[in-house]
Amino acid sequence: MALTPPPSPNLLQVSVKSSSSPCLSPSVHYLLFGSPCANASPFLLQKSGLPLLPVAVKPSSLERRIKCFTTRSYTKEDRLNEPETFSAEDVAGGGDEDGGSEDLDLQQNRGSAVASPRIASSSSDSLSLGIREPVYEVLEVKSNGVVSTRKINRRQLLKSSGLRPRDIRSVDPSLFLTNSAPSILVREHAILLNLGSLRAIAMRECVLIFEYNRKGGQAFMDTLLPRLNNMNGGPCMPFELEVVEAALLSRTQRLEQRLMDLEPRVQALLEELPKKLTVDILEQLRISKQTLVELCSRAGALRQMLLDLLEDPHEIRRICIMGRNCTLKRGTDDVECSLPLEKLIAEEEEEEIEMLLENYLQRCESCHGQAERLLDSAKEMEDSISVNLRVFNSIYQLSKA
């Protein structure tokens, strides 16, 4: 009885070795194609008269190819992307061995080319997953004034503070080029402070300070620790608000101190320049003007940050309800607390925070305005000197002619 090959291509991955079949050549391995019976063995197919197509391949390459065919899972998308397939009709029609071998090699090479990017992608993914987490060395200051240094990785920091990775980026010292603008970010369980060289995370019971050896961190510590000692002696604001005020106070004082050091020097240069015009004095004026530009920029950025915070009552109320069983009602941002006393305290703290921010806004505005006035005076003096030099140069050229 004749067997009809199936209409769809069917590849049987069977290797018949010469040791088990004396009728086959000992130097050739075979691949059998087009079996209509699922359970038929190669010997039953031979007896039934079904034409078989032997493909001569080397034993070493055959083992590698069979391993590749058996390990790789063929999906519908893979079959559609393959340019060449073997069908049962091709097997029944015959064909020369060299052509079949070349087609098989072509198919194998293309299959390997498709598999290689997947392996490379998997390797790159594993490498990316194997990147070591950054470890931060921070100074921990607790609400009772106890200070200690510790090392904490990113995962532990996120878990202990209830923050997200995008929140940490705002205070990450390694990203100082992308997060140089001052900011105060309020989250559910923490406040992130980025004020110049001061980068810290204030929580209910402690504050973590990054790069505490820099000037901003040291000035912050000099301001915070005396306030914590006063906290232990009587009632005061919550710890996280003490941290925020200490950060704003230390930053504002640094800007004011820089202005106080710079102002008399600029005034002396402005008085001396009309009488004595030398290269050294002009260089001092240029350096002072550059310092004033930097001071105006920093004071202006801090002023704008405080102004934006004051214009956003939602953020201020989020500070007030930290650590309390309170929520903000959607749409109106009204404070809702489980206890009436907590709501009363939160409303009082909201007023205190607004007054606190307005105080430092006025100080920043004063510092920024004074620095701008000095800068304008320095620019006017520089323009006047430039005009005089052009006049002297014209007179010299006329006298020389």
Give the 3-state DSSP-derived string for the chain, with helices as H, strands as E and coil as C: CCCCCCCCCCEECCCCCCCCCCCCCCCCCCCEECCCCCCCCHHHHHHHCCCCCCCCCCHHHHHHHHHHHHHCCCCHHHHHHCCCCCCHHHHHCCCCHHHHHHHHHHHHHHHHHHHHHHHHHHHHHHHHHCCCCCEEEEEEEECCCCEEEEEEEHHHHHHHHCCCHHHHCCCCHHHCCCCCCCEEEECCCCEEEEECCEEEEECCCEEEEECCCCHHHHHHHHHHHHHHHHHCCCCCCCHHHHHHHHHHHHHHHHHHHHHHHHHHHHHHHHHHCCCCCCHHHHHHHHHHHHHHHHHHHHHHHHHHHHHHHHCCHHHHHHHHCCCCCEEECCCCCCEEECCHHHHHHHHHHHHHHHHHHHHHHHHHHHHHHHHHHHHHHHHHHHHHHHHHHHHHHHHHHHHHC
For residue 192, the model assigns a pLDDT of 95
Kindly tell me the burial class for residue 214, based on how many C-beta atoms sit within 10 Å of its own C-beta (0-12, 13-18, 19 or more).
middle
Lowest average pLDDT, out of 5-14, 156-165, 385-394, goes to 5-14
For residue 304, the model assigns a pLDDT of 95
329 pLDDT band, cuts 50/70/90, is confident
For residue 131, the model assigns a pLDDT of 65
**Does residue 281 surpass a pLDDT of 80?**
yes
**Does residue 340 surpass a pLDDT of 60?**
yes
Domain 133-236's class? mainly beta
Is this model's pTM higher than 0.85 or not? Answer: no
What is the DSSP annotation of 164-193?
Answer: -HHHHTTT-GGGTTTS-S-EEEE-SS-EEE
For residue 135, give the amino acid letter.
Answer: V
Kindly give the interhelix angle for 313-320 and 239-272, rounded to the nearest 10 degrees. 130
In tens, the pLDDT along 30-72 reads 444 444 444 444 444 444 444 444 444 444 444 444 444 444 4
What number of other Cβ atoms are within 10 A of residue 305's Cβ? 20
Strongest mean pLDDT among 19-23, 109-113, 345-349: 345-349
Give the 3-state DSSP-derived string for 226-282, with helices as H, strands as E and coil as C: HHHHHHCCCCCCCHHHHHHHHHHHHHHHHHHHHHHHHHHHHHHHHHHCCCCCCHHHH
Lowest average pLDDT, out of 38-42, 161-165, 351-355, goes to 38-42
For residue 70, the model assigns a pLDDT of 45
Q: Which of 322, 356, 355 is nearest to 191 (CA)?
A: 322
**Does residue 142 surpass a pLDDT of 90?**
yes
Q: Which of 365, 373, 366, 363 is nearest to 289 (CA)?
A: 373
**Does residue 313 surpass a pLDDT of 60?**
yes
**Does residue 2 surpass a pLDDT of 50?**
no
For residue 237, the model assigns a pLDDT of 80
Examine domains 133-236 and 239-401 and report if their fold is the same. Answer: no
**Does residue 5 surpass a pLDDT of 80?**
no
In tens, the pLDDT along 6-19 reads 444 444 444 444 44
For residue 367, the model assigns a pLDDT of 96
Q: Please give the mean pLDDT across all residues of the chain.
A: 74
Which residue ranges make up each domain of the chain? 11-129, 133-236, 239-401
325 pLDDT band, cuts 50/70/90, is confident
**Does residue 22 surpass a pLDDT of 50?**
no
Lowest average pLDDT, out of 212-221, 228-237, 287-296, goes to 228-237
- pLDDT: is 35 or 317 the higher one? 317
> What CATH number should be reported for the domain whose range is 239-401?
1.20.58.340
Lowest average pLDDT, out of 28-37, 89-98, 371-380, goes to 89-98
Token pair 């010299």: residue: 396
Over residues 63-83, the mean pLDDT reads: 45
Q: What is the torsional sign of CA 330, 332, 335, 340? A: negative
Lowest average pLDDT, out of 70-84, 276-290, 368-382, goes to 70-84
Residues 6 or more apart whose CB falls under 8 angstroms from that of 154 comprise 133, 134, 135, 136, 165, 168
